[in-house]
Amino acid sequence: MTTIGFIGAGSIALQVARNAVQLGYDVILSNSRGPETLRDLVAELGPAARAATVLKTAQDADVVMTGIPMAAYRDLPVAPLRGKIVIDAINYYPPRDGHIPELDHGRTTTSGLVQQHLEGAHVAKGFNHIAAADVPTDRRPSGTPGRRALTTASDFPEAAAFVAKLYDQFGFDTLNLGPLSESWRAEFGRPAFLAALDAVGLQARLAEAPRVV
């Protein structure tokens, strides 16, 4: 079974990890303080979960999800993630992260910066514009009218396809925005951010997005 590693074990990572375990994935959790601080969470998730250092998580997982503040993205380890799919849930929130001029001026995207840092990894945006609490409550079986849609974007089609498969297993439709350069459409501050909409509604909301907020 595929092992999904989480760098960052806060609100969004835990909701995704919980759902992943329910679906039969193995998960590894990591944070900045070390695996011993994750003992209770691992116990809650059960035998398919374990905790490790960030480095070991990146080394051992088949796929890694980032759930850390944008300000910390340069801490993501580069070498062990080469060739791996990295699902990037990071949002840029200046009051928390400080200002990053390339993002403020629309010269790149949050995941564009993560991809630039993670040279050789296959980064796909995922789970960034859904509130963590909505992950277990908004899911619906495939084909349900009005099923909530989530976006992905990647420069690597197989990474976007993996996120789309995961969304479907979790209970969401996918809107693929194309390359990472398009992922700003569902970033923090845009009309689609946190909007619980089906694919048609989300598409319309994405089209309203200003490039710079």
Ligand X SMILES: NC(=O)c1ccc[n+]([C@@H]2O[C@H](COP(=O)([O-])OP(=O)(O)OC[C@H]3O[C@@H](n4cnc5c(N)ncnc54)[C@H](OP(=O)(O)O)[C@@H]3O)[C@@H](O)[C@H]2O)c1
Positions touching ligand X (CB under 6 A) are 7-13, 31-33, 54, 67-70, 72, 75, 89-91, 93, 127-128, 131-132
Number of C-beta neighbours around residue 132 at 10 A: 16
Shortest CB 26 distance to ligand X, Å: 19
Q: Rounded to an integer, what distance in angstroms lies between the CA atom of residue 141 and that of residue 120?
A: 35
Closer of 43 and 157 to ligand X (Cβ): 43
Q: Rounded to an integer, what distance in angstroms lies between the CA atom of residue 66 and that of residue 123?
A: 10
Number of C-beta neighbours around residue 69 at 10 A: 16
Number of C-beta neighbours around residue 158 at 10 A: 10
What DSSP state is assigned to residue 122?
A: E
Q: Rounded to an integer, what distance in angstroms lies between the CA atom of residue 201 and that of residue 41?
A: 36
Residue number of the CB atom closest to ligand X = 10
Shortest CB 107 distance to ligand X, Å: 19
Shortest CB 12 distance to ligand X, Å: 4
Closer of 24 and 116 to ligand X (Cβ): 116
What DSSP state is assigned to residue 171?
A: T
Closer of 91 and 109 to ligand X (Cβ): 91
Closer of 91 and 160 to ligand X (Cβ): 91
User: Which residues have C-beta within 8 Å of that of residue 59, sequence separation ≥ 6?
Assistant: 80
Closer of 91 and 108 to ligand X (Cβ): 91
Strands 122-125 and 149-154: antiparallel
Shortest CB 162 distance to ligand X, Å: 18
- Helix (H) or strand (E) holding 87, with range, is strand 85-88
3-class DSSP assignment, residue 3: strand
Shortest CB 29 distance to ligand X, Å: 8
Closer of 157 and 195 to ligand X (Cβ): 195
Shortest CB 143 distance to ligand X, Å: 26
